[in-house]
């Protein structure tokens, strides 16, 4: 199985800040990396696929980058609705594995 390691596990930020979340995989996965946002009591929501492609309807302040084993999700000009938990997930092969999550708090 491909292991996913996210960092940090949580971070505190303010509205308007820029935050960066890292995701590292245990083996190279090219660009087969997705990012999800999950709010309390809700299902995850796909933000970015193929490491850097924004899902339809996702604001442009979300940006994904990276390839191989190191990936980054950057949220610019943080908005109140962005406070949530973020997960990376590899789609390179089965079993599809997720990072442990990064909680973005005020």
Partner 1 sequence: QVQLQESGPGLVKPSETLSLTCFVSGDSISSDYWSWIRQPPGKGLEWIGFISYSGRTNYSPSLKSRVTMSMDTSKNQFSLKLSSLTAADTAIYYCAREVLYTGSYFGFQKWGQGTLVTVSS
Residues of the shown chain interacting with partner 1 in the complex, contacts defined by CB under 8 A: 1, 31-32, 34, 36, 42-46, 49-50, 53, 55, 87, 89, 91, 94-101
- Please identify, using beta-carbon distances, which residue of 42 and 60 lies nearer to partner 1: 42
Torsion of CA 86, 80, 41, 11, to 10 degrees: 40
Shortest Å, Cβ 70 to partner 1: 18
- Please identify, using beta-carbon distances, which residue of 17 and 83 lies nearer to partner 1: 83
- Please identify, using beta-carbon distances, which residue of 17 and 58 lies nearer to partner 1: 58
CA-wise closest residue to 81 among 59, 99, 65, 101:
59
């Amino acid at each position: 199985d491909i292991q996913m390691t996210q960092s940090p596990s949580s971070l505190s930020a303010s509205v308007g800040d820029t935050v960066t979340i890292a995701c590292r995989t245990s083996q190279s996965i090219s660009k087969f990396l997705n990012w999800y946002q999950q709010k309390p009591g809700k299902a995850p929501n796909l933000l970015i696929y193929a490491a850097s492609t924004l899902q339809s309807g996702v604001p442009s302040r979300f940006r994904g980058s990276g390839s191989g084993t190191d990936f980054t999700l950057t949220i610019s000009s943080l908005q109140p609705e962005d406070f949530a938990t973020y997960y990376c997930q590899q789609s390179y092969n089965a079993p599809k594995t997720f990072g442990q999550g990064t909680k973005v708090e005020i």
